[in-house]
Chain A
Amino acid sequence: MNQSEIRTPKSTIDMARRQMFQRLGMGIGGAALGSLLAKDLIAAPAHKRFVHESPMTPKPSHFPARAKSVIYIHLVGAPSHLDLFNYRPVLQQRNGELCPDEFFKGKQLAFIREQPTLLGTPTDKKFNFSRCGESGIPLSNLLPHLQTVADEMCVIKTLHTDQFNHAPAQMFLLTGFNRFGRPSIGSWATYGLGSENQNLPGFVVMVTGQVLGAGNSAWGSGFLPTVYQGIEFRSQGDPVLFLSNPSGIDSGDRRRIIDSVNVLNKAQLADVGDPEIATRIAQYEMAYRMQTSVPELMDISHEPKHIHEMYGTAPGKTSFANNCLLARRMVERGVRFVQLFDQGWDMHGSVFGSLPKKTAQVDQPIAALIKDLKQRGMLDDTLIVWSAEFGRTPMAQGNNGEGKKTSVGRDHHKEAYSVWMAGGGVKGGHIYGETDDFGYAPVRDAMHVHDFNATIMHLMGMDHERLTFRFQGRDYRLTDVHGVVAEGVMA
């Protein structure tokens, strides 16, 4: 049973001790060492698994999963969904009129302080919507590449949230709670399902632009064990912190040093018998393997030219496009949950000047990601999510944070906004829910943030009501005491 991985110093361990070591140690050590072995362990009854299992060992889902992995793209700041996904001709026609009282009076708005005017999508061609694919769902011409994969996309028009400031709304969406301290969706997923690859983290995060307001809490593990927190792969310096050896220590040196550490740790294990020592031995092995597997994963220079052209990637560059390609490479290697954050969508002013610049950065690589997964036969079990902490108002905002006049933008909007999913058991070429003519509020199939999270969990094969963790005397879950799975988004 994988004994070749751990060599016990024979000279120091008598027979009895060695037997004990095998009983205690091999379980944990072995489990974390190789995914093959870990998979075998699933078959063992629960009470036998306790001592012998790494927290990242793959675990059975509650019911068959539609999506094995998730690539969750969060557009930080909140894109102007009305100009991308929710075509509102009436809003265009009534552009410039004062908004109805009920849009403003008694509402919580972040920046707007005086009754605003309605703001329609501009009528020039580049902002037009086109009916796309066989399904004919309308998408903005600002997204020419996504228009070609419209038949894979399920656009949800009626997502709504409780929070209207960035950081609390990010936490509310991503952890189900608007204050610090709760686990993020990715950590719930890896807690529930473990990871398919024991040489890489199960939950990886990549960020382009400024870090978001919720900070590391957006991918934190809250009260779950910290092994489930998202590991940020960075684009500058070591992709994983402390991955590189110090100067003057090469890979061969490192191997010898780790071997020596493990020889002494094994002697200690034989002496005091604490199974934690076996785990530590395994973790040093994994650390060493990560020193190879992570750089190999992050090196996109060997991807063929047509792939680079498809994504618009360039090796060595920091870009959202590179992160999309890396996301595919991670999912290929069994990473459970990949989360991409892209900053720069908070357009309180000059929305029509800025939006085309941002869409130009993300449109092609996301469309490429969908096509690439599809051509590899991976789209069916990879769920792609386009999301944001809230939407933007159908009303115009003309002042910036300091009260100065700016060119027109849109304020934060929590009553209804559009996001989409693709792959992973989602109904492609489909629109879920409908809003009023102004896109202000849902009129059919409203989906609360808790419902959205429940649905993502469901697609991953987990019942959001059963995936719980006991803390402070209570069984907590991602969706608090809410959440209804939206059957309508599923294929």
Chain B
Amino acid sequence: MTQIMRCLRNTPLTTLLSATTLSLTMLTVLTPTARAVEPVDFARDIKPLLDAQCMKCHGREKRKGGVLLTYRAAAMTESDLAHKPIVPGDPDASEMIRRLTLQDDDERMPPSKAPLKAEEVDLLRRWIKEGAVWPDDGSHRKHWAYIKPVRPELPAVSDASWCRTPIDRFVLARLDAEKLTPSREEDPAKLLRRVYLDLIGIPPTPEEADAFLADQSPEAYEKVVDRLLASPRYGEKWARQWLDLARYADSNGFQADQIRENWAYRDWVIKAMNADMPFDEFTIDQLAGDLLPDATVDTRVATGFHRLTTCNVEAGVHPEENRTNQVFDRVNTTGTVWLGTTIECCQCHSHKYDPFTQNEYYQLFAYFNNTPLEVKQKAGVTFDFVGPKMALPLPEQQRGKYADLHGKYAALKAKYDAATTQAAADQKRWERDAAEALRHPPKWTTLRPAAFETTGGETYEVLDDGSVLLGGTVPGTTVYTFTAQTSLTNITGFKIETLTDDSLPGKGPGRGDEERSNFVLNEFTVTAATAKTPGKAAPVKLTDPRADYSQPNWDVGGLIDGNGKTGWAIADQFHKPHWATFQTDKPLNADGGETVLTFTLDQNFGRGRVIGRLRLSALTGSGDALGLPKEVATLLMKDDKRSKKEQKVIDDYYAKANPVADKIRSEMEAVKRELDNIEPPTTLVMVEMDKPRETHVMMRGNYLHPGQEVEPGTPATLHPLDPDLPKNRLGFAQWLMSPENPLTARVTVNRWWAAFMSRGIVATQEDFGTQCEPPTHPKLLDWLAVEFIESGWSMKHMHKLIAMSAAYRQSSKVTPELVERDPVNLLYARGPRFRLSAEQIRDSALRVSGLLSEKMYGEPVYPPQPPGIWRQVGRNEPKFNTSTGEDRFRRGVYVIWRRAAPYPSMVNFDAPDRAACVPNRARTNTPLQALTLLNDEAYVEMGLALAARVMQDRAGADTRDKVTYAFRRVLVREPTSFEAEHLAGVYERELAQLKKSPKEAEELIRTVKGYTPPKQLDHVELAAWFRVANVLLNLDETVTKG
């Protein structure tokens, strides 16, 4: 009764959603009469009420008013009040009853909550009256789940012949009690599909079904079960559930959510399950495989389990805080997975409901506290994901090649070092010289004429600024010859300036016209000679002509093109000074000394278009002139203050200029590329630090507020810790797998039971504490737990037991009577029927369409998803490169799992982001699921492939036959005549429609990227079959295990 009260008092919102709560209510309603006359049972009736209503304030932590309701002696005596809370035998003298029934709001219990229901108060009164029986002998005080299970006797049942396994005795006994009868055995084809989906996650082919249906031996079904348990597909199916618990993903989570490499762990899980690795070994390897005395590569890979936590590497993260959060996650996940315990409640305070203290939480924390930081400062407050990685061994055939390449690389490296050492001294000198040159920034020096000649008979004057001002006659054409002598070294360019002057018409710079004071300079040449041998002048090659302005069609480039008809002019930018510059192809006068430069300026346009005032300058010193990239030039100027990285830039630049070293280097790079190709992949592993960290209680869970120091240890409520076990993760894992552990076996078999039967015997798979849903079949749970331990922790043994049971093999049909009495199938009067997981839906559709690749293991795959799902997320952003070939069609367990954006079609079927441990996925039913199966590119490919299969495998058969074949590929069973007729009708209808618009068929086939149907198939027929396939892949039955 109390149970009902509690349920009904839940908020309506919770009740609506929690099918479990409500259905329990309904069940309990089945037998309401029996209870009234029974004596009150403390554990059943009173304890839950106290827990729900009183413990928040009167538990060990708060003891409000000095009242402690955790054990009898305290409840009968302790209190700051004048009256005892409970006086056995006398409810009226018990302060508890008075306080619960006060009308006055101030004193009434529980404060600021609705008063207890009259029935509840009545129950408490009766209990007190009956002497307040409160079993206090230790075992009763403990919640059932903390007491080691013992194998119960098999109960008597109404029909022993129905029972195929001990499981069935417990199920039937309960059905007997409820006066229900089990359903008949499921149709063979449907049962076959069910057991295939449960054991290997994909349905049987029609051929496999035919073989089973033809096998009349009594062991036919068992043979199938054994074969499936031995199939490599088994591990792929069952790994999924474990990977949810392990929060397995291929990325870090958080801000940038970069990809990380830990798929070897996923493969390890698949292999372990296929090998039926005993669960104790499976556990110890994952929690402490690195600490085993005989640790192997495999046991180290297994420790990836606790490296799968998320890791924040966003800028500004505090590494210690990140590490603390990771350890919290490891402790909490361990609590959920192995103990079914909400240990995380103790991070901030002792558990409100369950017998775990905050101190004990940090004792567990201490076991996991000795791993290194996993983010590392890169620069400033930028961080990288680090943490221990392990290289995986290479396959045999690659190992030799890998060694060869390593040898080759080492030899090249030696040669390279020799070549560069010799060059090192040269390089040092070059660096100094280059820096010296760079330090002298580009500088223009005016060249004063040592001599100036003209051919037009003009006069000239040298002004103070070194310019030459022309006067006198204005010639039609003229050639100026300008000679200068200079001691400048390393001249790298020249400049012509045509200047204005008041004496010129229109101020110049040309001399011919006041209004249009243009000039036309046709050619500009330079020769250079040493002062000692002025006769031996050599022409200077000019490059890179530039000008502040060039008249259209009179570009400055015309000055150095050797063509006397082209040239530089400045209309219509009259009356202003102008300039033109050139670079020399190599520095002049590099060795120092005096140089004689002779410039010739040919102006043959006519009509006095000649320069009126002229100045020439020489350029010295320029980074550009050295031809250095800007980065190198800048670094050179830093001299010896360069960082290692910066020096490398210079070394690389210099090495490239060193042809011998450069050649060796490119060979090295080629070898390196080959090496990278077979570089062993890595995986994340746990590593214990040499020196363990001190662990302190964290006040309110805050790592900045350490409390008292604690040693590693296990909760006192659970089985004792053998003092001989090492005080590390290994010792902890061994403690966990002790046969004395009351929780792990129960929690584990319950999880499997739920996978087969839809819900756990304890519905709250994640919580076996005092607040859990009470088990529907407590003795069955204990029987299974003991059987599990005694089988040597064999997962396959347990799975076979369940699959062989009569309870599992029942028809899943829901009769009106059953839906009324047991809507969510708590009692197993029928077989399980529920929606498949995201992965099963994908894998099944791949299988029935014939596309499924059976390739196992390795790097994650990228099946098609809509563009833009992996959006920009910042630094080291990963790319989604859709897989081609068979990787496109591999099982869901191999699909890349990026936490910020998991594979969307699986998300739509309730796949979690795997950022945290997920003990029990939701099973929703939404329109987005319909859209996914109807329109997702992946399912369109599968639909088309299924259509093609049907046409090929049943070529020449009639429509009805093809429909039946397609139906059986998808659903295994024969279609009913209605179904077959309906689908044949769909085909004929769509064929007729497509014949009218064959364009639609072409469009479909053309746009499907991942699958190309065989050429011989008629496109219109194929498109019609595609639509039939589309219908089949969208059926409720297709995505349901029934």
Contact = CB atoms under 8 A, between A and B. Distances in A.
A191 B913 contact: no
Given A241-B866, A404-B380, A257 B1027 contact: yes
B823 A242 contact: no
Contacts of B988: none
Given A50-B16, A264-B1035, A472-B336, A276 B925 contact: yes
A58 to B, nearest CB: 12
A164 B1040 CA distance: 45
Contacts of A412: 316
B989 A290 contact: no
A191 B1002 CA distance: 45
B940 A179 contact: no
A47 B22 contact: yes
A260 B380 contact: no
Contact of B916 (A180, A237, A254, A268): A180
A238 B16 contact: no
A103 B907 CA distance: 44
B816 A273 contact: yes
Interface residues of A, number: 105
B924 A400 contact: no
Given A164-B316, A467-B13, A249 B1004 contact: yes
Contacts of B483: none
Contacts of B908: 241-242
B750 interface: no
A469 B255 contact: no
Nearest to A215: B900
Interface in A206-258: 207, 210-211, 213-217, 220, 225-227, 231, 234, 236-238, 240-250, 253-254, 256-258
A236 B871 CA distance: 11
Contacts of A117: none
Given A240-B931, A403-B380, A180 B925 contact: no
A466 interface: yes
A111 interface: yes
Most chain A Cβ neighbours within 10 Å, of B18, B924, B1001: B924
Nearest to B989: A256
A273 B929 CA distance: 21
B979 interface: yes
Contact of B926 (A110, A227, A246, A411): A227
Contacts of A9: 978, 982
Given A216-B913, A244-B935, A246-B1007, A110 B819 contact: no
B772 interface: yes
B382 A402 contact: yes
Interface residues of B, number: 119
A240 B927 CA distance: 11
B915 A217 contact: yes
Contacts of A231: 928
A166 B16 contact: no
Contact of B931 (A53, A234, A241, A274): A241
Contacts of A234: 868
B381 A111 contact: yes
Interface in A162-188: 164-168, 178-181
Contacts of A444: none
Contacts of B315: 110-111, 401
A242 B866 CA distance: 8
Contacts of B990: 253, 256
B662 interface: no
B317 A165 contact: yes
Contacts of B910: 226
A286 B904 CA distance: 19
Contact of A210 (B310, B329, B874, B930): B874
B1003 interface: yes
A98 interface: no
* Residue from the set B12, B1008, B1031 with the largest chain A CB neighbour count within 10 Å: B1031
A257 to B, nearest CB: 6
Given A257-B934, A403-B379, 11 more contacts: A12-B976, A47-B22, A179-B328, A211-B873, A226-B922, A241-B928, A242-B928, A243-B931, A260-B983, A268-B1036, A469-B17
Q: Which 10 A-B pairs have the closest CB atoms?
A: A110-B316, A248-B1004, A403-B380, A215-B900, A473-B771, A180-B915, A213-B255, A287-B930, A181-B916, A473-B767
Interface of A: 9, 11-12, 20, 23-24, 46-47, 49-51, 53, 55, 59, 108-111, 113, 164-168, 178-181, 191-192, 207, 210-211, 213-217, 220, 225-227, 231, 234, 236-238, 240-250, 253-254, 256-258, 260-261, 263-265, 267-269, 271-277, 279-281, 283-284, 286-287, 290-291, 399-404, 411-412, 466-475
7 contacts: A213-B254, A215-B873, A249-B1027, A267-B982, A274-B812, A473-B342, A473-B772
Interface of B: 10-19, 21-22, 25, 253-257, 310, 312, 314-318, 325, 328-329, 336, 342, 344-345, 352-354, 378-382, 764, 766-767, 769-772, 812-816, 819, 823, 833-835, 866-868, 871-874, 899-902, 904-905, 907-908, 910, 913, 915-916, 922, 924-932, 934-937, 940, 976, 978-979, 982-983, 986, 989-990, 993, 1000-1008, 1023, 1027, 1030-1031, 1034-1037, 1040, 1042
